[in-house]
Amino acid sequence: ANCHYASGAPARACAILGNCSAPQNRYLLALCHVKLGRHLEAQRALLGSASPSADPTGTAIVPNGAAGLYLLGTICLKVQPQPPASLPRDDTNERSRAVLYFKRALELDPYLWSAYEALAALGKEFPPPPLP
């Protein structure tokens, strides 16, 4: 599955991973689904449940630690409904969960700079980065 994903064939990797349950496989399956634009399936792979709304508080244990939480946060932002440009953007449930996932990712890995960037782009507060 790794070879198929790395060679640009995420659909083949998805077929191999199928109903996997090992955390490493679930993370790779989620990456494949994201590449294919299947964001809800990617959420299910990371959360290990049939329903992406099974984690309303953003406290689920996700494979691959901080990287898995960051991936789940980016997926949440992609599946949230986009309001028309003329309307102000409200804080949807998916967006709130994305913020929680980004913050949890930073708790596990305070050097995950992409999570800081995502929180800043959302206009949310974040913990200061650690000093070297």
Cβ-proximal residues to 15 (8 Å cutoff; 6+ apart), any chain: none
Q: In whole numbers, what is the pLDDT of the chain averaged over residues?
A: 85
Q: What is the pLDDT of residues 43-82, one digit of tens each?
A: 999 998 756 666 777 778 889 999 999 999 999 999 866 5
Model confidence pLDDT, tens digit, residues 84-101: 555 455 457 888 999 999
Long-range pairs of 18-23 with CB within 8 A, sequence gap ≥ 24: 21/48, 23/63, 23/64
Which tokens hold the place of 42?
Answer: 């990617």
Kindly report the backbone phi and psi dihedral angles of residue 104, in degrees, each rounded to the nearest multiple of 5, phi listed first: -65, -35
Question: What amino acid occupies position 113?
Answer: W
Angle 105-132-100 from CA coordinates, rounded to 5°:
15
Whole-number Å distance between alpha carbons of 14 and 79: 20
What separation in angstroms does the CA of 46 have from each of 11, 42, 77, 86?
A: 17, 6, 15, 34
Question: Helix, strand or coil for residue 17?
Answer: helix
Instruction: Read off the pTM.
Output: 0.83
